Structure 1
Amino acid sequence: MSLTASSAAEIAGPIAGQILTVGVEEEFLLLDPATWHNAPVAGAARAALAPQVRGLTRVEFRHSMMEMVTPVCASLPQLRRHLIANRSAAAGAARTAGARLVAVAATPVAEPDRTVEDTPRFHAISRHYGPVAHDPAVCGCHIHVGVPDPEVAVQVCTHLRPWLPVVQAMSANSVFHAGADTHHASWRGVQLERWPSLGPSPFLTSVADYERTVAELVASGVMLDDTMVLWWARPSRRYPTVEVRVADVGPTAGDTVLVAGLVRALVATVVADIAAGRPAVRPPEHLLRAAHWNAAHQGLGGTLMDLHARRPVPAWEMVDLLAETAGAALRRHGDDAVVARELARLRTEGTGADRQRRAGALPAALRMLAGLTTG
């Protein structure tokens, strides 16, 4: 049975007054600096990390990927410090392994070694999904925002759905594939559509609703098991958080800080909506998926769907509307000045996709991204 509006408001009320924590997982590619092919040296790079940093990395699906995880943070300046430290440590370890650490969200040239890391889980995924599991590596930025109650976390994911295409467009940072411009701003977003359990979360109203839906999808074969909930927003299985997974990895730590600040403020805003009994907007599923495809295709260079009004509007109009909607939460968390500065920079410099195209030929774009990753 779904929660009633009054019971949901009672649960969300105390959370709405809290300062929410934030943490970030960033995935990076390891590239050969001579060919810019993916370099399968993740094991050597992890081994080269200093012992005190090794606990902040995770074994990823591909031998050419390196993930770094921040601690739980209370402020954006604290988050920025950890992001910069993680990127610096990972870049140094990558150089020791003969590669460059690059914050780019899709394999830009080629991945000669498409085998998965040697774990039972990864081998099971490989067998179940076949060639889809052996697509070239893609790298995301996963934002965790502290939501301690699972019932509220499920509802937060539902309330976030109309806003996540905007976050996707702002973070677009994967132009190239097979050595050529894909004419998409986020090739990662397009490539990941091949995975059947990935995309917008369903419209869910309770933990019972969530668990029933996941069980049905596992029974259908779409999900290998209940660990394969790969939706753009999901209640974390490991932490008392909502995990937003839609963003491409950002070229710079500042790009990640911007996305993290806006996502935290959006989560705080919708928690307040839940506490006040305001219902979630429910756009048609076909329009929601179309909005995500368009965000991956155009980034901030065209229009985005206003899923509240069900009409296309200039992309930056949607960014401004998102920032305005989240404004009270940004101020309450002390993030308004940081986010305003990073938004101004984004407006001037463009997305990672824009910056890649301005750099010119692919090698120049990748050299630029390698510099931005730790710059």
Structure 2
Amino acid sequence: MTRFGIEEEFQLLEENTLVPLPLGSAARRALPSGVGTVGKEFLTSQVEFSTTPVLTLSAAREQLRAFRLALASFARDHGAVAIGSGTPFGIGPEASVSTSERYGTVARWLGHIVDEHHVNGLHLHVEVLDDEARVRALNAVRPWMPALLAVAGNSPFADGRDTGHQSWRTVIMRRLPLTGCPPHFRDMGHYRATVDRLVTQHVIPDLASVCWAARLSETYPTVELRIFDAQLTTEDALLCAALGRALVESAADMDVPMRDGDAVQASLWAAAREGLDATLVDPFSGDLIPARQAVSLLMQVITPALTASGDLAFAAAHLDRILEAGTGAQRQRDAYAEAGIPGLRALLRG
């Protein structure tokens, strides 16, 4: 089996208005430093948790659940809600950037974009030790990213209103350079030359600011999938991990034509807007197909990898749950429609 790690970004919101609160530093000081790492995030209302490298979903589940429980307890004690959502319900005052030399540099680079850059993601690192194999895996995941996003959309609200999108986080991220679908790379030399040129050109301030929805990590020998919104529950997060790891593991055996980046970008927009009701590009034929059919094709491709890791039953059951009950975005909408902010608060705390 292939090792993987999960990074989850959470945001702390005032419980009555669901507007961000600058409690990130206090949360980091209060939370236990057990297995996994509690880290600073870009905004003062955010906190990040990173698992250790693990081999199994059960090992990841243990770490994620322990942190979520500790964070939820901290939030309740401070009149707050700790959310796993791609965007908060309300924004309120301008975003406050966490103090650090790098975050200051990024904030100056983003300029006015910072003021509304309230986004929370789930980043999945999948270990691929060989450099060239890592580039091939990155190329292989490109046409499947819209299907992943259709399943993982979980940011329907912003500014206290329904955005009309399943993943408003994806829309916000499109204001940055290098977001969405990465280019197709010939080899590691091509990848390195491309990102180095972008830094030299001042398109990005540093290598860590590459914001494609899939990239090669600058810190670890991993393919990093950044397509996922932060997820409502641990089980939702684990589904993203199961699908993403199996996709990277399947790259060596995948025979998918190279898709034009613009076609993938269009499908990413459609998935961000319509989720499982979107129309996407078939990674094999290039035809337009329903998102649910694209997800079914994805499952066919990665079933051998899911079987080898022992994750097939979990992934199939939880994917069926989302296909029937709705993505995180739909569940948020349903909760708000039924009971307003109290209903949404109860879901986010659940």
TM-score range, shorter chain: over 0.9
Name the SS for the 1:227 alignment partner.
helix
Question: 2:270 aligns to what?
Answer: 294
Q: 2:151 matched to 1:141? A: no
Matched residues in 2 for 1:300 and 1:168: separation? 9
| Contact 1:23–1:144 (CA under 8 A) maintained in structure 2 | yes
Name the SS for the 2:9 alignment partner.
strand
| Contact 1:65–1:137 (CA under 8 A) maintained in structure 2 | no
The structure 1 segments of at least 4 consecutive aligned residues displaced by more than 6 Å after TM superposition are: none
Matched residues in 1 for 2:311 and 2:59: separation? 12
Matched residues in 2 for 1:311 and 1:111: separation? 43
Question: 1:262 aligns to what?
Answer: 243
Which aligned pairs between 1:216-227 and structure 2 lie closer than 5 A? 216-227=197-208
Letter paired with 1:334: G
RMSD (Å), alpha carbons: 1.6
Aligned pair partner of 1:67 in 48, 71, 81: 48
| Contact 1:305–1:312 (CA under 8 A) maintained in structure 2 | yes
Letter paired with 2:114: A
Question: 2:32 aligns to what?
Answer: 50
Letter paired with 2:198: L
Question: 2:330 aligns to what?
Answer: 354
Q: Which moved more, 1:75-84 or 1:28-37?
A: 75-84
CA-CA distance at 1:74 after TM superposition:
1.0
Q: 2:290 matched to 1:309? A: no
Matched residues in 1 for 2:303 and 2:127: separation? 19
Q: 2:345 matched to 1:367? A: yes
Matched residues in 2 for 1:225 and 1:250: separation? 28
Q: 2:314 matched to 1:341? A: no
Matched residues in 1 for 2:327 and 2:261: separation? 27
Closer, same or farther in 2 for the Cα pair 1:284/1:365, shift >3 Å? farther
CA-CA distance at 1:364 after TM superposition:
3.8
Which aligned pairs between 1:88-107 and structure 2 lie closer than 5 A? 88-107=69-88
Question: 1:9 aligns to what?
Answer: none
Question: 2:5 aligns to what?
Answer: 23
Q: 2:305 matched to 1:324? A: no
Superposition TM-score, scaled by structure 1 size = 0.89
Matched residues in 1 for 2:231 and 2:33: separation? 26
Q: Which moved more, 1:178-187 or 1:341-350?
A: 341-350
Question: 2:139 aligns to what?
Answer: 158
| Contact 1:24–1:142 (CA under 8 A) maintained in structure 2 | yes
CA-CA distance at 1:29 after TM superposition:
1.3
Question: 1:37 aligns to what?
Answer: 19
Superposition TM-score, scaled by structure 2 size = 0.95
Matched residues in 2 for 1:369 and 1:171: separation? 17
Letter paired with 1:90: L
- Per-residue CA shift, 1:100-123, capped at 9, x if unaligned? 111111132114241211000000
Closer, same or farther in 2 for the Cα pair 1:362/1:211, shift >3 Å? farther
| Contact 2:16–2:341 (CA under 8 A) maintained in structure 1 | no
CA-CA distance at 1:362 after TM superposition:
4.4
Question: 1:5 aligns to what?
Answer: none
| Contact 1:103–1:369 (CA under 8 A) maintained in structure 2 | no
Unmatched 5+ stretches in structure 2: none
Letter paired with 1:363: I
Name the SS for the 1:221 alignment partner.
coil
Q: 2:219 matched to 1:238? A: yes
Letter paired with 1:311: D
Question: 1:126 aligns to what?
Answer: 107
Letter paired with 1:366: L
- Per-residue CA shift, 1:256-292, capped at 9, x if unaligned? 111110111111110334xxxx5x5322222111011
- Per-residue CA shift, 1:103-150, capped at 9, x if unaligned? 111132114241211000000111122112332311111111111112
Which aligned pairs between 1:245-284 and structure 2 lie closer than 5 A? 245-273=226-254, 278=255, 281-284=257-260
Matched residues in 2 for 1:174 and 1:365: separation? 16
Question: 1:115 aligns to what?
Answer: 96
Letter paired with 1:271: A
Matched residues in 2 for 1:249 and 1:369: separation? 14
Matched residues in 2 for 1:206 and 1:355: separation? 41
Question: 2:149 aligns to what?
Answer: 168
Q: Which moved more, 1:27-36 or 1:340-349?
A: 340-349
CA-CA distance at 1:51 after TM superposition:
3.7
- Give aligned pairs, total: 348
| Contact 1:179–1:362 (CA under 8 A) maintained in structure 2 | no
| Contact 1:173–1:186 (CA under 8 A) maintained in structure 2 | yes
